[in-house]
Amino acid sequence: MSGHSKWATIKHRKGAADKRRGKLFARLIRQVEVAARAGGGDLDGNPTLRTMYQKARDASVPLDTIERAIKRGTGELEGVAYEPFTYEGYAPAGVALYVEVLTDNRNRTSSEVRSLFRAHGGSLAEPGAVAWQFRRGGVITVSRAVDEEELMMATLDAGAEDIVDEGDTWRVTCAPTDLPALSAALEAAAIAVENAESTMLATQAVPVTSIEQARSVLRLVGELDDHDDVQGVHANFDIPDEILQDLAASV
């Protein structure tokens, strides 16, 4: 079980999603705008925009808000030019962090991210230092109430690579290019998808076995994730369930 995804699930279950709704909307709108700027505003001719558009709709971002973001991206409305880039570094206990950013001021963001690493016992690394410990993959979350055999029948011929029991949910992984087909296969089988996204998956895990180290790692991950310019924080920690549950009680 991935400790990182388990922690994300626990935070979601404890109502953090409501608190972070505005943050999620801002991220999705920014991603829509960047996709439109890079490949045009036609959903049929811009697969990246189509994916971002669907993610925004799935998150209940208002349609007019999405359309304005597309127009800012294509230049029909005045907007800000966002630059995508990544940071790589380490949290306490040697946990690798891969941070994805969209910003209109790279110098400001770099300074702020560097300060967060330093303030929470982490350190930035050179590009490529930790990227090799992650791979891009598709992840779909399905309720644990779904029968495992039913889930396997619906997904294995649609590109599923693995199905993992994460307590309250199943986590189905696939190649990022297979994500639309896998989502469609689940929909055809009348299996509800709780979440579907292309993300960075850790290829190896770093065990974090003390509650003090776990608290330090998660504090840094949380602070980075809360930064307005950060689009995603990916980590390879593996924290035992009992420690995660203890920490979740204080979230």
Q: What is the pLDDT of residues 58-70, one digit of tens each?
A: 888 999 999 999 9
To which residue do tokens 């290019």 refer? 177
**Residues 115-171 pLDDT 10s:** 999 999 999 999 999 999 999 998 999 999 999 999 999 998 899 999 998 888 899
Residue linked to tokens 């409305």: 77
| pLDDT score, position 243 | 87
Residue 16 scores a pLDDT above 60: no
Q: Residue 245 and residue 119: Cα distance in Å, rounded? A: 25
Question: What is the C-alpha separation between 197 and 114, in angstroms, rounded?
Answer: 27
Confidence check: pLDDT of 15 > 90: no
Q: Give me the mean pLDDT over the 65-77 stretch.
A: 91
pLDDT greater at residue 107 or residue 14: 107
How far apart CA 61 and CA 200 sit, in angstroms, is: 24
pLDDT at 2: 46
d(CA 186, CA 147): 13
Phi, psi of 68 (to 5 degrees): -65, -40
Please give the Cα distance from 243 to 31 (Å, whole number). Answer: 34
- Are the C-beta atoms of residues 195 and 203 closer than 8 Å to each other? no
Number of DSSP helices (H) and strands (E) in the chain, helices first? 10, 10
* CA–CA dist 215, 195 (Å, integer): 26
Query: Could you tell me what percentage of the chain is helix, strand and coil, using 3-state DSSP and rounding each to the nearest 5?
Result: 50, 25, 25
